[in-house]
Structure 1
């Protein structure tokens, strides 16, 4: 049985690789004989493991790099999705990873995962996309406008400091504010459907989030490479996701020649929360362990 996120959400230790293209922060976790590369979503970084239990419990090692502008990876390392895909391929070679069982793209990390699969088919065997941003316009122009201000590199530390303070003094209010863009459901209803452990995990995650200079860069348009991804792909998304509409998943599944669309019944962008996740996790596990 694959476990769902636990209440004890904590930051993990990372290392830094100094490559010709620049500095890359990464976390290498697990001792499995095969490796999956996980590209985190917006406001996250390599030290924040979300939904990775499905990989480690199936016996895979997880390599999670901080994308450009997040954590200790400067925006100048790779810069674009395609550029950082090449940097990550070099990181794999540096670490002795000759084949990648799958690249996993979470939310805004989806475009980098797709770029790595398209540009390095000799390295990447499969693709898993979780609530991933496609190549449609994203985010909504109002969110993009507000995000460029609130999460500007010079202001984002203050934005998150305010949220952390609010989480301490008025956690229910803070959670309502933070989840309103994650679900099409009213915030109170979404939070009411979470277990106590899930609420604690979500609170812990929000407490540790930072945007660096990465999130503003995530909102820039990226050349569409989905049709160039020939590997088997699993595209997972929920229709209740307000952050990344379900149309993104549909467009990716339609563009990739060997893609399967798996509809999560989660209440939000966070597919790892809710009673439906064990079914989704089982499908991921089967997908990764089926012979090509």
Structure 2
């Protein structure tokens, strides 16, 4: 995928970002372990005349971790980015662990947000220090260990893509692998391999873990733009309670429950429906 990748510096902090496509601007808040090279769901949007701006969130890619001292501070930098690009307002798509960033941005800068789409998104406190996943995340996904973890995963995935998909996909779903297999596309294996090849945690995932509780009811209730919430009923990473929580507290929000095989709603036999629903919302 062709994209322009640049960095800008404000107040001593560096923000990395990419721009791909031409047309109506969309600002994407990528999920955990990702960066400005994210690409899930991008092709359909670009083909329909959208431009996608993806900042590497704090601690990811070349973006300074200091920008992420709070969600509000990070959002201040996203505003600076839009000003730099001379963009007045955008559609916002917030994915997975990028959910809190999208919520904060939409609630604090309503004049800059046309719509907000939450995809498989964290909308309240997620993992806590008491959770095993949190403890493992702090060990495995902190520098410099995370670099070697992702190198190992990438190497294994490149060498044994089908085996790794079978081993790892159940982490993203509540379904057993045989059910995942019945709902997946053959292209999912390659998309999964590419995902694991571009992922890194940097300092970003630890920041994500520490900030999910920073999303308040006040933030959700302050959002005034149209909101679409999309999540698979089989999501194995982010509990469905997050989608229902957002629906309950964001005025007028539309909840769309999907039947894709798991957290990665851009994959599987239902992927076309995911794209169609999103485009319909953006164009309404």
Give TM-score scaled by structure 1 length: 0.90
Coordinate RMSD, CA, aligned: 1.8
Q: Residue 12 of structure 1 contacts residue 48 of structure 1 at CA under 8 Å; is this kept in 2?
A: no
User: Do structure 1's residue 249 and structure 2's residue 243 form an aligned pair?
Assistant: yes
Q: CA offsets, 1:250-273, max 9 Å, x none?
A: 100111002000111101000011
Partner of 2:6: 15
Q: CA offsets, 1:141-163, max 9 Å, x none?
A: 11111111010122101111221
SS in 2 for 1:36: strand
User: Do structure 1's residue 134 and structure 2's residue 128 form an aligned pair?
Assistant: no
Matches within 5 A, 1:69-80: 69-80=59-70
Measured in 2, the distance between the counterparts of 1:192 and 1:79 equals: 43
Partner of 2:265: 271
How many residue pairs get aligned? The number is: 279
Q: Identify if the C-alpha distance between structure 1 residues 181 and 12 changes in structure 2 by more than 3 Å, giving closer, same or farther.
A: farther
Q: CA offsets, 1:51-108, max 9 Å, x none?
A: 12232222121111000010010211243222211110111011100121x1110101
User: Do structure 1's residue 170 and structure 2's residue 164 form an aligned pair?
Assistant: no
Which structure: greater helix fraction? 2
Q: Residue 28 of structure 2 contacts residue 92 of structure 2 at CA under 8 Å; is this kept in 1?
A: yes
Q: Identify if the C-alpha distance between structure 1 residues 262 and 20 changes in structure 2 by more than 3 Å, giving closer, same or farther.
A: same
Measured in 2, the distance between the counterparts of 1:25 and 1:44 equals: 12
1:236 to 230, 234, 238: 230
Q: Unaligned regions of 5+ residues in structure 1, if any?
A: 1-9
Partner of 1:28: 19
2:199 to 209, 213, 216: 209
Measured in 2, the distance between the counterparts of 1:212 and 1:232 equals: 33
User: Do structure 1's residue 120 and structure 2's residue 120 form an aligned pair?
Assistant: no
Measured in 2, the distance between the counterparts of 1:12 and 1:198 equals: 22
1:105 to 84, 94, 106: 94
Post-superposition offset of 1:169: 3.6
Measured in 1, the distance between the counterparts of 2:75 and 2:118 equals: 15
Q: Identify if the C-alpha distance between structure 1 residues 60 and 135 changes in structure 2 by more than 3 Å, giving closer, same or farther.
A: same
SS in 1 for 2:234: coil
Q: Identify if the C-alpha distance between structure 1 residues 169 and 63 changes in structure 2 by more than 3 Å, giving closer, same or farther.
A: closer
Partner of 1:281: 275
Measured in 1, the distance between the counterparts of 2:177 and 2:149 equals: 20
Post-superposition offset of 1:13: 4.6
Measured in 1, the distance between the counterparts of 2:98 and 2:120 equals: 10
Measured in 1, the distance between the counterparts of 2:126 and 2:164 equals: 28
SS in 1 for 2:9: strand
Q: Unaligned regions of 5+ residues in structure 2, if any?
A: none
Measured in 1, the distance between the counterparts of 2:141 and 2:102 equals: 23
